[in-house]
Chains A and B, each alone.
Chain A
Amino acid sequence: MRNFSNLLIKEIKELLNKQLIISLVFILVLFNFIGSITKSEMKKAMAKQKVAVLDLDRSDISRNLIGALNMAGFIIEEKTGEKERVIGEVRDSGLDLLVVFPEGFGQLASSFQPVTVETYSFLKGLSISGRTKTEVVRALINSTNDYLSNEFLKKKIPDADPKLLKAPIKNREFVVVKERQAEGSASMIVGALTAQNFILPVILMMIILYSAQMVITAIAMEKQNKTLETLLTVPISRGAIVAAKMLGATVVGLLSAVIYMYGFRNAFSFSDTDVTKALGGITPILKQLGLTISTQGYVLFGISLFLTMLCALALATLLGVLAEDYRTAQALSFPLVFLLMIPYFISLFADINTMSLPAKILVLAIPFSHPFFAMQNIMFGNLNMVWLGIGYNFLFVAVLLWWTTRIFATDRVLTMKLKWGKKKVVL
């Protein structure tokens, strides 16, 4: 145990070197910088903004609409004069939106004839605030249209409810999950669950990838620095050497992933309060449908993730043995990245359950796939799939660990290498 901790501490110290610490600090600074830019843009979009208005009509309706714009949080800068001149004036000023109410607007609108409001957006970039302004103006025009059409219908058919006339069919939505049923929209529930869990695949990918790359690098560096031979002759079992490398890489990989995720979360401001607010109304529906994760569910997910990490580490150790130096180690980590990308993108953009059987088998044959789909399966009560994944990964890990320890116990740890020219593995 003393020898193992001696080796483990050395592994952690070797991996957590100055270069890694600098790159982690750089990631934090970079994300902080991106975050501050994003937040300032969001702030700009949320703050009261100036809108130029040219009211050539000056009717009650146009004045009311301008008042509504003011109520919607805009600072109105009223312009007078000819339209073309005003457009030029606004273009040259710092403003980026002009709303023009044409002459006769009020009269045409109140007599229920087609009428046009012109909006001019002055694009100076791809900022969020420019987009939100036009969206607010469009919403105001829509509600004015709604108001005017209601008035028209009231005038023409006084006894009828205009709302009923415009939308006689109402839709009551229900969602059914297995035996449970709740009133609500499926798209809303899917949207809420996606918002709640979207960060999970990113975290999974980071943890697995960082740890695996750490192992490959650790072994490759032993070879590059010519320290492996000496290490293999010290009185400690080969299994302990493998375990220390894997555990050390896990610790440093987890730490790197946590720092990366912290920076990522800060930068893109996915604060808990925002998510909680968005989910607030839907939480009772999710509970009613059983779409919440119990403690047992989290434990099951934890087991799935742990076994997947072991798979990645064992596979990375094997690849590390093939590496001759740091450069080849980087190239050898590519198959791992590729295998991770498949379940990552499928979990983001597709549903594994609706895929064809051969495609499904191919995806699930990748041991890294299982935790990506475990949360969804736990939520929807497909526990058999989760247990099958755990069993498959357990077997995969057992075989890989046995093979890795065997390789470390024999000459192969020194003689096994990838021959790039002949593309052949010498075992």
Chain B
Amino acid sequence: MAAVLEVEGLKKRYGSLEALKGVSFKVEEGEIFGLIGPNGAGKTTTLRIIATLLTPTDGRATFLGYDLKKNPEKFREKISYLPEEAGAYRNMRGIDYLNFMARFYARNEAEAKEFVERAVAICGLGERLKDKAGTYSKGMIRKLLLARALMTRPALAILDEPTSGLDVINSLEVREMIKGFTKEGVSVLLSSHNMLEVEFLSDRVALIDQGVILDSGSPAALKEKYQAPNLEIVFRRALQ
């Protein structure tokens, strides 16, 4: 399979703090690639760089052949980013929020309508979409934002801690939404400190700690390599 995203030697420095020390990985077409690691490992920084929010201090990222530094606008056209602590406009109705976001990606109103219809189906919020986002629970907001990220069928969906702060039921629903979405042939790059979640969702994972990729591969291959029953143990053994 062809790689949609290639990251090579990505570095990011905030003053004296080196958040990324040369991160490299590839995301292939139609796969879910998980970045796992503890808080402060560099997951969010990596995703924010690829989402064009931060500029790397050094290194290279290419997406569908486009260079991140030279063509950030090409990245923005084809990716969808769901930040960890994202919110929606409180005074906007859910349906209006989807319409607002769809218009940025659609070539015309008909396509925007199509995007919104897809989002309505993905999020499953039904009549509540007619209410203002300020009245939504955290779980509902997360589903709305995930639907927003997936409705345009981006070439790459970047999901930062997609189930962060959600209860068990909502987390399960969100995971199913993500799994179902990749059946349509779209790639997903996600991060989580919940290693079991990533193991369930991802085709391949990279273990990241202190700005360095420790190892990468399919969950099954990593478990076999480290003789571990799950990715949590894999991570602990990789650290040693």
A interface with B by C-beta (< 8 Å): 2-3, 6, 10, 13-14, 17-18, 225-227, 229-230, 232-237, 410-411, 414-415
Q: Report whether A227 and B100 are in contact in the complex, using a CB–CB cutoff of 8 Å.
A: no
Contacts of A414 in B (CB 8 A): 53-54
Contacts of B53 in A (CB 8 A): 229, 232-233, 411, 414
B interface with A by C-beta (< 8 Å): 14, 48, 51-55, 73, 76-77, 79-83, 85-92, 100-101, 103-105, 145, 148
Q: Which residue of A lies closest to B51 (CB)?
A: A233
Contacts A233-B81, A234-B101, A411-B55: A225 and B89 contacting too (C-beta < 8 A)?
yes
Contacts of A18 in B (CB 8 A): 91
A21 CB → nearest B CB, Å: 11
> Can you list 8 A-B pairs with a CB-CB distance of less than 8 A?
A225-B88, A227-B86, A229-B51, A229-B53, A229-B83, A230-B81, A230-B83, A230-B86
Q: Which residue of B lies closest to A2 (CB)?
A: B103
Contacts A234-B104, A235-B76, A235-B104: A10 and B54 contacting too (C-beta < 8 A)?
no
Q: Report whether B83 and A3 are in contact in the complex, using a CB–CB cutoff of 8 Å.
A: no
Q: Report whether A233 and B52 are in contact in the complex, using a CB–CB cutoff of 8 Å.
A: yes
Q: Report whether B83 and A17 are in contact in the complex, using a CB–CB cutoff of 8 Å.
A: no
Q: Report whether A227 and B88 are in contact in the complex, using a CB–CB cutoff of 8 Å.
A: yes
Contacts of A14 in B (CB 8 A): 89, 91-92
Q: Which residue of B lies closest to A6 (CB)?
A: B103
**Which of B73, B76, B79 has the largest number of chain A CB atoms within 10 A?**
B76
> Which of B14, B73, B103 sits near A237, CB closer than 8 Å?
B73
The 10 closest A-B pairs by CB, nearest first: A226-B87, A234-B104, A235-B76, A233-B81, A229-B83, A6-B103, A225-B87, A235-B77, A411-B54, A233-B51
Contacts of A225 in B (CB 8 A): 87-90
A23 CB → nearest B CB, Å: 15
Q: Which residue of A lies closest to B109 (CB)?
A: A2
Cα of A9 to Cα of B176 in the assembled complex, Å: 35
**Known pairs A2-B103, A232-B52 / 7 extra A-B pairs, C-beta < 8 Å:** A6-B100, A227-B89, A229-B51, A230-B82, A230-B86, A233-B79, A411-B53
Q: Report whether B76 and A10 are in contact in the complex, using a CB–CB cutoff of 8 Å.
A: no
Contacts of B87 in A (CB 8 A): 225-227
Contacts of A17 in B (CB 8 A): 91
B123 CB → nearest A CB, Å: 15
A427 CB → nearest B CB, Å: 11
B58 CB → nearest A CB, Å: 14
Contacts of B89 in A (CB 8 A): 10, 14, 225, 227
> Which of A3, A226, A227, A233 sits near B103, CB closer than 8 Å?
A3
Q: Report whether B54 and A235 are in contact in the complex, using a CB–CB cutoff of 8 Å.
A: no
> Which of B51, B90, B91, B104 sits near A3, CB closer than 8 Å?
B104
Contacts of B103 in A (CB 8 A): 2-3, 6
Cα of A232 to Cα of B76 in the assembled complex, Å: 9
Q: Report whether B86 and A229 are in contact in the complex, using a CB–CB cutoff of 8 Å.
A: yes
> Which of B14, B92, B101 sits near A13, CB closer than 8 Å?
B92
Q: Report whether B104 and A226 are in contact in the complex, using a CB–CB cutoff of 8 Å.
A: no
Contacts of A232 in B (CB 8 A): 52-53
> Which of A226, A235, A237, A410 sits near B83, CB closer than 8 Å?
A226
Q: Report whether B104 and A6 are in contact in the complex, using a CB–CB cutoff of 8 Å.
A: yes
Cα of A230 to Cα of B83 in the assembled complex, Å: 7
Cα of A3 to Cα of B106 in the assembled complex, Å: 10
Cα of A226 to Cα of B84 in the assembled complex, Å: 10
Q: Report whether A410 and B100 are in contact in the complex, using a CB–CB cutoff of 8 Å.
A: no
A419 CB → nearest B CB, Å: 13
A220 CB → nearest B CB, Å: 13
Cα of A234 to Cα of B14 in the assembled complex, Å: 25
Q: Report whether B86 and A226 are in contact in the complex, using a CB–CB cutoff of 8 Å.
A: yes
Contacts of A235 in B (CB 8 A): 73, 76-77, 104-105
Contacts A10-B100, A226-B83, A411-B53: A233 and B76 contacting too (C-beta < 8 A)?
yes
B211 CB → nearest A CB, Å: 16
Cα of A411 to Cα of B54 in the assembled complex, Å: 5
**Which of A227, A230, A236, A410 has the largest number of chain B CB atoms within 10 A?**
A230
**Which of A13, A14, A227, A415 has the largest number of chain B CB atoms within 10 A?**
A227
Q: Report whether B14 and A415 are in contact in the complex, using a CB–CB cutoff of 8 Å.
A: yes
Cα of A226 to Cα of B104 in the assembled complex, Å: 19
Q: Which residue of A lies closest to B101 (CB)?
A: A234
Cα of A221 to Cα of B90 in the assembled complex, Å: 10
Q: Which residue of B lies closest to A18 (CB)?
A: B91
B154 CB → nearest A CB, Å: 11
Cα of A233 to Cα of B83 in the assembled complex, Å: 10
